[in-house]
Amino acid sequence: MHRLIIADDSPVYRLRLSQIFAASDSLQLVGLAGDGQEAVRLMRERRPDVLVLDLEMPVLDGFSVLRWAMKHAPLPVVVCSGRSEHESVFQALEAGAVDFISKPELRFAIRSQNFAEHLRSKVEAAAVAHAHATLPRGTDERAAIAAVNHVRETKSTRERVCLVAIVGSAGSPAAVAHVLSNLDKNFRVPVIIALHMPQGFTSSFAERLSRNSPFSVTEARDGEALAEKEIYIAPGGQHTSVNRDKFGELRFRIEASDASDFYAPSADRLLQTMAEACGAQSLAVVLTGMGEDGLRGARAVRERGGHIIVESRETAVIWGMPRAVSEAGLADAELTPAAIAAALPLLCIDSQ
């Protein structure tokens, strides 16, 4: 059993979260904190394996608690906050949180089984994550060159890459930022990034990436044609696919998700449609994240002769999505985000 502490200043919300985790077979609640100072005291005394943290609390706010934890007692932290559309969530992820979930209004949180299941699964996955995983600075050119040489040796033909799709979940925002900040600024192949994010979050994520990388990063729009040197973010809470129009041009299709969809945007849907539209010209990158979303899509890419890279277990916060693809024998290489940044231009060299 993994030891859990909940830090939230609302007594009613603490009760609801306690009820949600009482249904878990792998989590044991060992402490409830109503403010940041109490959260720090409980972490010192009870040494939890995972922390669920609100960002807005009295005495010490969630950021102060997070900074203290990463410095003195590193552990996986899942942010459960109502401030999901602001820079605060990005700052929490950069400070070491492994995942986040939007905190709904209490009346919704009490009734919603969907919220309960999502939160429980995120925290159960986080409990076994790498706490405060650090990403190496710069690029890893030797690993990238070795991976690219292996791909070229094992592929009977080489096709011009027309699209790169990057998918992931918990821990992926930091990994994506690392890849883009280290990617050659002259990289021309369009890139579509689909991470498991809620609606209203991805536009802010795109703006942040644009500010901190040499690329133009925008949220994908329904019917939009893909352009060279553009980076697109799949809208949160919806499904993004790519298709060819009657003129052979690649375009996005954005569709609403169903209440029964556990992952939105779906990595499988994006990768499968990319494989259908681009065949051997597809390049898929599977980053850190829980579960197996992306496995069916990666299989479709492989069946059509495309390339697949997964993030290495050394840097992945949660080696779930990459592991599923790797253990199925579908990955051409396992690389750190630094090496992925170096490998993409090499794999797409004929497309530049």
Which active-site residues does the annotation give?
Answer: 169, 196, 293
Spell out the residues 6+ positions from residue 267 whose beta carbon is closer than 8 angstroms to its own. 167, 168, 194, 286, 293, 294, 297, 321
CA–CA distance, 95 with 348 (Å, rounded to integer): 33
Spell out the residues 6+ positions from residue 245 whose beta carbon is closer than 8 angstroms to its own. 225, 251
Q: How far is CA 346 from CA 208, 231, 257, 285, 332, in A?
A: 26, 18, 35, 14, 14
Q: Which residues lie across from 218 on neighbouring strands?
A: 232
Pick the closest to residue 129 from 90, 162, 174, 178 (CA basis).
174
Write the burial class of residue 331 (CB in 10 Å: 0-12 exposed, 13-18 middle, 19+ buried).
buried
For residues 7 and 39, the answer to whether their CB atoms sit within 8 Å is yes
CA triple 262-266-269, angle to 5 deg: 130
Could you tell me where the beta strands, DSSP code E, fall in 234-319?
A: 238-244, 250-256, 282-286, 307-311
CA–CA distance, 180 with 88 (Å, rounded to integer): 21
